[in-house]
Amino acid sequence: MTGSVSGLRAIVITHRLLVRQLVTRGRIAALLGVGIIVSLVVALVSRAGGEDESAEEALEIGTSVMSNLGFTIVVPIVALVFASAAFGDLKEDGTLVYLWLRPMDRWPMAVAGWLAAATVSLPVTLVPLTVAALIADVGSELVWATVLACVVGNLAYTAVFMLLGLLTKNSVVWGIGYILIWEGLVAGISGVGEKLAIRGYTRSIIAEQTGVDLYLGDLSLGIAVVVPALVILAAVVLSTLRLRSLDVA
């Protein structure tokens, strides 16, 4: 009657389950609210200069505000909330057993966990930030930079924070520590720290696309896309290994 479940099938089933578990009204409303507020701030500050401001100055201000608020706060925090909960919630409430004790490989579960977190968190960040870039009206460069950086940053953060949810009990606390301390402080004073901060790659994409100089934004577009892709791969592989070795309650 039963057989093993193929990798693709396992991804589809697990993805559906996790998306359903992740999407709660409270989470979506709270995070969408944060996204909208930040987006309004970005839009308002960018347009505050009025007619005295040159197009170049307006782009510089808009890019700076978008980078500092959107990609330092909104993208990583939203990714953290959803990705750490992807398996973290199931692990904590004891329902992971209903996925784990099945004839499924672990890698499709890890892939599905990452995709589920991205499926939910990407629209919550991409839509308000893109709308903010449009309202700022400082040129299409910022809009495209926002879209690309949001996609790359979101996919990378969700992979890393999903792993964090599997590794630690208080993953949100650890995640906030990473965002504030590592990305906010260590990355600025250490070369190694900078390379291990996803924020550096999203800022580099924005800087590259808009031509605006940004702190921690001096990598080429190719590196800013390829390195996060490798980070995603590494995080998914480590999550697979973690799922294999996990003690399930």
Determine which residue in the list 50, 103, 191, 222 makes contact with other proteins, applying CB under 8 A: 103
Determine which residue in the list 99, 131, 160, 164 makes contact with other proteins, applying CB under 8 A: 99
Binding status of residue 211 toward other proteins by CB under 8 A: no
Q: In whole angstroms, give the CA distance from residue 231 to residue 124.
A: 22
Kindly state the smallest distance separating residue 83's Cβ from other proteins, in Å: 19
Task: Provide the 3-class DSSP secondary structure of residue 100.
Answer: helix
**Which lies closer to other proteins via its Cβ, residue 48 or residue 248?**
248
Kindly state the smallest distance separating residue 94's Cβ from other proteins, in Å: 4
Contact (Cβ atoms closer than 8 angstroms) between residue 171 and residue 165:
yes
Kindly state the smallest distance separating residue 5's Cβ from other proteins, in Å: 4
**Which lies closer to other proteins via its Cβ, residue 25 or residue 222?**
25
Residue with tokens 């896309």: 225
Determine which residue in the list 53, 95, 168, 241 makes contact with other proteins, applying CB under 8 A: 95
Binding status of residue 101 toward other proteins by CB under 8 A: yes
Those residues whose C-beta lies under 8 Å from the C-beta of residue 20, and which sit 6 or more positions away, are none
CA distance to 132, 151, 165, 172, per residue, from 179 (Å): 22, 18, 15, 10
Straight-line distance from the first to the last Cα atom of the chain, in angstroms, rounded to the nearest whole number? 27
Those residues whose C-beta lies under 8 Å from the C-beta of residue 47, and which sit 6 or more positions away, are 58, 135, 136, 137
Kindly state the smallest distance separating residue 76's Cβ from other proteins, in Å: 27
The interface with other proteins within residues 3-32 (CB under 8 A) comprises 3-5, 9-10, 13-14, 17, 20-21
Q: In whole angstroms, give the CA distance from residue 29 to residue 48.
A: 28
**Which lies closer to other proteins via its Cβ, residue 26 or residue 222?**
26
Contact (Cβ atoms closer than 8 angstroms) between residue 188 and residue 216:
yes
> 26: closest CA among 85, 71, 69?
85
Determine which residue in the list 66, 75, 85, 105 makes contact with other proteins, applying CB under 8 A: 105
Q: In whole angstroms, give the CA distance from residue 39 to residue 132.
A: 5
Q: Kindly indicate which of the ranges 87-95, 120-128, 185-193, 228-236 contains the residues binding other proteins, using the contact rule CB under 8 A.
A: 87-95
Kindly state the smallest distance separating residue 87's Cβ from other proteins, in Å: 14
Binding status of residue 100 toward other proteins by CB under 8 A: yes
Kindly state the smallest distance separating residue 35's Cβ from other proteins, in Å: 24
> 42: closest CA among 151, 132, 106?
132
Binding status of residue 104 toward other proteins by CB under 8 A: yes
Site of interaction with other proteins (CB under 8 A): 1-5, 9-10, 13-14, 17, 20-21, 93-95, 97-105, 247-249
